[in-house]
Amino acid sequence: MTQATTFTPPRTHPLTDRRVGSGPGHGLRDVLGTEAWNRLPEAVRERFADSAAAASYAGVFEIVRASVLGRVFAWLGTMLGTPVAPRAALNVEAVVRVHPDGNGVVWDREYRWADGVRHLVRSTKVVDEHGRLTEKLPARLCMPLDTFEDGGVLHFVSRGYYFELGAGLRLWLPRALSPGITHVEHIDLGHGWFRFTMTVTHPLFGEIFFQTGRFAACEELP
């Protein structure tokens, strides 16, 4: 695996205490169960609590990598609303904005490439009436998730992909035609920092996407 390079921490500002108003929260405490929730570092519980403040995080993706197949998926994805970053590079500045909407909690990842181009990747984490977590992506593409704690790290692992067709109907993607298994890790680093790592592995072609970066809370950045 390519080694991450050293980077300069982003310019951040003190985070104000902007509490989320009414509306859905992450619901992860119920998804994980009390024991697993309590094993998470306090900072992780604060970020994912239902009462958490709407927040922005600034940082750098030290690695944004994609295979040839991954770049094909990413290019096709731009026609569906950019569910994954359509480029690859090292040391990519980024801002992550988290806020509730009418359905769940929105995670916006804005990639700021060195040439000034910006790409926004948006997903919404939703807990259904059965206590299952689903990541909703553009174009009604959905990714149900297994969510668990291991060694103080919060893990999200996909269980397939489907398109919501309405009226409760779903069109599931065959495994070979899907991106594969998406595995996201949220790792607390202490001192207000956390690491986001995403690996997408195709069942036939191996790793097609890999991203990892460090982030810290900040005031809203332009």
**pLDDT value for 202:** 95
**Residue type at 33 in one-letter notation:** G
> Using CA atoms, how far apart are residues 153 and 148, in angstroms rounded to an integer?
8
Fold of 28-218: Lipocalin (2.40.128)
Three-point CA angle 106, 20, 187, nearest 5°: 55
Ramachandran class of 131: left when φ > 0, alpha when ψ lies in -120 to 50, beta otherwise: left
Q: From first to last of the 222 residues of the chain, give the pLDDT tens digit.
A: 434 433 333 333 333 333 333 345 678 999 999 999 999 999 999 999 887 778 999 999 999 999 999 999 999 888 888 999 999 999 999 999 999 887 889 999 999 999 999 999 999 999 987 889 999 999 999 999 999 999 999 999 999 999 999 888 999 999 888 999 999 999 999 999 999 999 999 999 999 999 999 999 997 766
> Using CA atoms, how far apart are residues 14 and 219, in angstroms rounded to an integer?
6
Listed by start position, the domains of the chain span: 28-218
- Which token pair is 138? 């553009």
Residue 83: φ, ψ to 5° = -75, -10
Give the pTM.
Answer: 0.86
CB-facing half-sphere around the CA of 41: CA atoms within 13 A: 16
> Using CA atoms, how far apart are residues 153 and 151, in angstroms rounded to an integer?
5
Is 168 within 8 Å of 175 (Cβ atoms)?
A: no
List the one residue out of 197, 193, 190, 200 whose CA is nearest residue 212.
197
**Residue type at 99 in one-letter notation:** H
